[in-house]
Amino acid sequence: MIKSLIRMFCVALLFVSFIVESVLASNNNLRFSRYSLEQGLSQATVTCMLQDYQGFLWICTQDGLNRFDGYTFKVFSFDSENQHSLTSSYIEALYEDENGVLWIGTSKGLNRFDRQKERFENFELSRERRDYVGSQFIRIIYPADKNKLWIGTHNGLFLFDTTDHTTQLYLPDSNSPGSSSTNSIQAILADQQGRLWVGAEAGLMLFDTTKGSFSRFEYENLGKSFTFDKSVTSIVQHPQGGIWIGTYNSGLYRLNPVTNAVQNFRADNRNSRSLSHDRVRALHISQSGELWIGTRGGVSLYDSTNESFLRYQHNPTQKYSLSNDSVWSISEDNSGGIWFGTGDGANRVNMETRQFGHQSQSYSINPRITELNGVNQNKTNSTIVNSSISGLNSISHKRIRSLFKTRSNVLWVGVDNGLNRFDPATEKYTHYFHESENSSSISRGMVMSILVDSQGQIWAGTYDGGVNLYSEEKKAFKHYQHIKSDPNSLSSNRIYSIKEDFQGKLWIGTVDGLNRFDPELETFEIFRNKPNDPHSISDNGIYSTLQGKSGDIWVATRNGGLNRLNLKTGKFQRFSHDPNNKKTVSHSRIFALYQDDTGVLWLGTKNGLDKHVPGSGVFTSYNKKHGLANETVYAVAGDSEGFIWVSTNHGLARFDPKRESFDVYGESRGAQSNEFNNGAFFKAEDGELFFGGINGFNRFYPETIKNNVFPPKLAITQLLLFNRPTRPAIGNNDSPLVNAMTETRSVTLDYKDYVFALELSAIHFNSPFQNRYLYQLEGFDRGWIETDAKNRRATYTNLPSGSYTFRFKASNADGVWSLHSKDIELHVQPAPWRTWWAYSLYVIIFSLILGSFIRVKLQQLAVERRTARAIALSQKRLSTALWGSRSEMWEWNMKIGNVERENLLPDIIKLTGPAKSPSDFVELIHEDDRTSFVCALEEHLQGKSDFLETSYRLKTKTEDWRWILDRGQIVERDHNGNPVVMCGILVDISQLKASELSRVQSIRKLVTGVAHEINTPLGISITAISLVNDEVKNIYESPELNAKGLTGDQLEESVGDGGRLVARNLIKISQLITEFKKVAEFSGTRVYAFNLAEVLQDCKEQVSCYELPLELDIQINCSNKILVLGEPLIVKQVLEILFDNSIEHGFQNRSSGTVSIDAQTQQGKVIVTFSDSGCGMQTHELEQAFEPFFTTKRIDRHMGLGLHTAYALVVNELQGAITITDNNNGDGVSVIIELKSA
């Protein structure tokens, strides 16, 4: 009993395995792109789909309507607070009429989409029917006559007029006006004969549009008449006339509308080529005439050649399989893609991916099965076995390392875990694995290379097990491996490639040298790099070899570039990469070699595809600049049309040598993966190409690969302000959009919208992220800006106000560009302060400001001119003063150690130049003066004196010495208080020194005269006193005088005359001393500005108080505004001397006289003219008037120091000038005094 149960269980298990494998084994290699909740779909169950005239795909779900542009979903759903939203989010019907109006059938009525405002208008089909809810649940919308629609609902068929919105209801079962299976309409078809077919839950019916009545469809089978009472879900008609009918649980029917013959297709789990499920939900006939069936068990594709079906179902191990087996709807886009609405989102099949056959590893439910059926490859449709999940019905590993197709079409595949053989005759795979206990099994390691040689022998090179020779007769492998003790054995067990030359010798590339193997003698000749031999091979890592048309062997190395072996000489020619020479090979790592029919050599390198004409020594590189997505080129092969095919780390690529550009075919376009493997490629004799990678391999005939010729539809889907999407303005919404962005042709932006972006969409669903974009804002952008789908927002900031035209174009993944650009007008409003009236106001304000500015500027210019003139005058005065005073200016910059001079004193040795300390120029100073100069300078530098003032003798150019007065002061110090810059003047005081010498001589003369003048009265006085003493003594001693009786009066008279003489002379000496004091009082004067008129008035009043010998009239003519720089007391003293001189000399023996004092300013000086009306002076007197001790009245005891004293005071103390002249009429003299004006 137990054994029976076990036997039954095993049988059941085998049966289940067979059933599962049978169901899944038919998966053809279609690649489904999935779009579900993760991509933004509102709900997973897709009930219907439609592509509108703008290119958008509309996807209906049980919870919302989705608009899809290939990148993002925009969702519309029911909103209880928005009367313009959908009446329900549950949608099962969708239709676009001839006017481009989109009609949506929901569970609660009909909706019309307003594209301008992106809102909906709602229509109730009927309010008078008892089953109101059923009447509003819309299952299908189908076109009727012009401006009319057939609408199938849960409660009958409605004819809806789109112009006046009226409806007419037709019930299949008029006896049951409420909801019933008979009245529930699910499918409608107007056939080629004009008949209207209606599919209901109760069966298939014909509707007479003239009578408005239904009739059940009846058909004959085996001579009997049957009513088609199966629940009909979908009806389509093939262009050849056949009508296909999908039912709820009865499979698929084909109706011949002429004979009314019906054929039923049902699902059969024992037949993998039968319908995938009996519950048919959707039917679609593609533009190419293929019938697609959506069922509860996946997608079926009808094969008319044998009336069978190909199944496409969900496979959890294959990311490109159908996402869910519950298929609700099927649609087709304008770029040739088929869409399937499933219970887990929308799936799209790019029919072009069928051009690339794809074989990958599948996983086994029954691990005991090692040989399973596949699908035959044929050249007409370029499809290949796409193994299912069943058993090992596929290659044994998904990582492909090598490929080889024999002349008998047997395919050998090297993978990571062994060798695979596919026999198209038996449609079976055979796997060969390494078995450690079986010495006849294939050696271990990845199978890196496969070769079926000219003798039909099968060679396999592994990465760790050396070379294997397979005997199909013995079903055993013979091993050739590296033996350390045998130098004539294979150089390494790690094999990269095996190739056969024209003589039948094998060239084996390893990680440690190139081997030439003679199969007959079973001997190896090894070529290795020899560091000291430039004619040896450049590197021991050998990726590939190729015998060229000339017979030479080309060798691609891992790190040594390209080598060419001359078989006659045995020498290698090296072609290495030189980064400084673009004409050398582009990289030292070369993976693959190919020589085309013209003899051109093509190299797959680490840096792209290289072209080399043998003998030229020149290499041309093609890389990303030419459109290659990735520059690691693993394999290179040519086709019959001259194109070069390469595999990379980013898909396959086809190179056009004429255009010098690549077309890229990534994973989304049919490549097994974006990443391919080195050495995994093969070109068969019939032209079929094989490329392997990390997820299986592709096989295809290159001539069947055609680019998609449909350009994309263009749309501007969004306007974003500050990265936030905008909507059409409704109510108080201040959006710049009046209509939806897709319907907008012109946009006006406020000045506040200074950051905006336009989101672009090139609607082409074949690899949409490989679409390319060009856009330009005319009036701003200088040219077209190119971008990709990931950066399809055109963003602008701070755009100047004005009008612009934005244009954009796009291409599909195959580089087919749109014929026309999509344009939109942009108007950027200026800010209020940038409007025309604002600018007018600015002009007015600017004009006023400009006028004021000009007026002020003119005033400033006038002031500046006056200032400039004053400065120039001051500079001229300074220069004149420096020149006139024989002074020069100097500046000593102690920081840089340099002395600069201006207005150089003549004949002085130049002091200009480097000078960091006094020692640098002290040698030019007289040695007697050096000590005092250095001391004075150091005291000032150390801050002990406020300024420098010293005199010394400097050497002249004629080696003479000249007296110099040096005055200076520090004008700049650093932050530590150290002196930095010092300025001062040098004054040539040689004449002053000479004047001092002259004055000393004058003083000597004066002293001599004083001594003479004083000595005379003093001598007289002494003589007089002596006489008086002698006289008195004689009087007292002379008896004669006593005898004569000399009286006292006589004695007094005698002695008194002598005393008076002495007194007079002593008074004269006192007067002389007073005059001498006046001469000496001119030093130590204090200088300041004073009012001259006040000084003259004081002097007048003082003189008027004197007891004068005459009546004196003093007249003063002086303005109160005249200021003099000097000492007022000295001026008074000078005037007093002049008054005394006039009274003593000019008015002698006169009872009256006039003195006039006149003061005026002339050229910065004050001219004071002192005139009297006296007797005047002779010419020789005028010339000596200011000399000391000159007088015209010496007999009257005058000493002649008055005018000399006045001269000394004016010249030396007041720094002025004084002259004396006789009046023209001889009436008195005039003394003219020049003083400094303050």
3-class DSSP string for 1183-1208: HCCCCCCCCCCHHHCCCCCHHHHHHH
Q: Are 169 and 153 in contact (CB under 8 A)?
A: no
CATH label of the domain that carries residue 1153? 3.30.565.10
From 704, 727, 750, give the residue that closes a domain.
704
Same domain, 956 and 1055: no
Q: What pLDDT score does 220 carry? A: 79
Asked if residues 812 and 711 have their Cβ atoms less than 8 Å apart, the reply is yes
What is the total count of domains within the chain?
5
pLDDT given for residue 535 in this prediction? 97
577: in domain: yes
- Considering the domain architecture, whether residues 642 and 730 belong to the same structural domain is answered as no
Question: Is 1068 in the same domain as 1112?
Answer: no
Q: Which among 764, 814, 761, 765 is positioned nearest to 792, based on CA atoms? A: 761
Q: Are residues 618 and 650 in the same domain?
A: yes
User: How does pLDDT run across 378-436, given as a tens digit for each residue?
Assistant: 333 332 233 333 334 689 999 999 999 999 999 999 999 999 999 998 888 999 999 99
Q: Which pairs from 410-413 meet CB under 8 Å and 24+ separation?
A: 412/450, 412/452, 412/458, 412/460, 413/450, 413/692, 413/697
| Pair (940, 1018) in one structural domain | no
The answer as to whether 694 is a domain residue is yes
* 477: Cβ contacts below 8 Å, ≥ 6 apart: 432, 440, 441, 442, 443, 460, 468, 469, 470, 471
Count how many Cα atoms sit within 13 Å of the Cα of residue 415 in the half-sphere of its side chain. 26
351 domain-assigned: no
Both 1064 and 1148 in a single domain? no
Same domain, 1184 and 1106: yes
Largest CA distance in the chain: 225
Q: In the structure encoding, which two tokens stand for residue 596, read together?
A: 């085309």
Write phi, then psi, for 919 (nearest 5 degrees).
-65, -15
Q: What is the DSSP string of 21-77?
A: HHHHTT-----EEEESGGGT-S-S-EEEEEE-TTSPEEEEETTEEEEE-SS-EEEE-
Q: Would you state the pLDDT for residue 4? A: 45
CA dihedral 1045, 1049, 1051, 1057 (to 10 degrees): -150
What letter represents residue 407's amino acid? R
Q: Is residue 108 part of a domain?
A: no
In whole angstroms, what is the distance from residue 1134 CA to residue 1130 CA? 6
The CATH number of the domain holding residue 923 is: 3.30.450.20
Which residue is listed with tokens 């004054």?
987
Evaluate whether residue 293 is within a structural domain. no
Residues 1031 and 912 in one domain: no
**Beta strands across the sheet bearing 619-622:** 590-595, 601-605, 608-612, 619-622
- Lookup: tokens for 412: 């050998």
Question: How many whole angstroms from its chain centre is CA 1197?
Answer: 106
Give the residue from 674, 704, 734 where a domain finishes. Answer: 704
Structure tokens at 701: 């005939």
Residue count of the chain, please give it.
Answer: 1238
Picking from 834, 851, 871, the residue at the C-terminal end of a domain is 834
Q: Provide the residue range defining the domain that includes 1020.
A: 1007-1080
Q: How is 537-604 classified by DSSP, letter by letter?
A: -S-S-EEEEEE-TTSPEEEEESSS-EEEEETTTTEEEEE---TT-TTS-S-S-EEEEEE-TTS-EEEE
Q: How many CB atoms lie within 10 A of CB 1209?
A: 25
Q: Is residue 455 part of a domain?
A: no
For residue 86, being part of any structural domain is answered with no
For residues 946 and 897, membership in a common domain is answered with yes
What is the per-residue pLDDT for 225? Answer: 78
Residue 1229 counted as domain residue: yes
Contacts 24+ apart (CB under 8 A), 965-973: 965/989, 965/992, 966/933, 968/890, 968/892, 968/940, 969/940, 970/940, 970/941
Residues 673 and 657 in one domain: yes
pLDDT under 50 in the chain at which residues?
1-27, 178-179, 363-392, 1012, 1078-1084, 1194-1200
pLDDT at residue 1070 in the model: 59
Based on the fold, state whether residues 810 and 666 are members of the same structural domain: no
Buried b (16+ CB within 10 A) or exposed e, 127-166: eebebeebbbbbbbbbbbeeebbbbbbbbbbbbbebeeee
Distance CA 245, CA 242 (A): 10
pLDDT value for 132: 61
Q: CA angle at residue 888 from 882 to 892, to 5 degrees?
A: 140
Task: Examine the domain organization and report whether 551 and 612 are in the same domain.
Answer: yes
Q: How far apart are CA 452 and CA 421, in angstroms?
A: 12
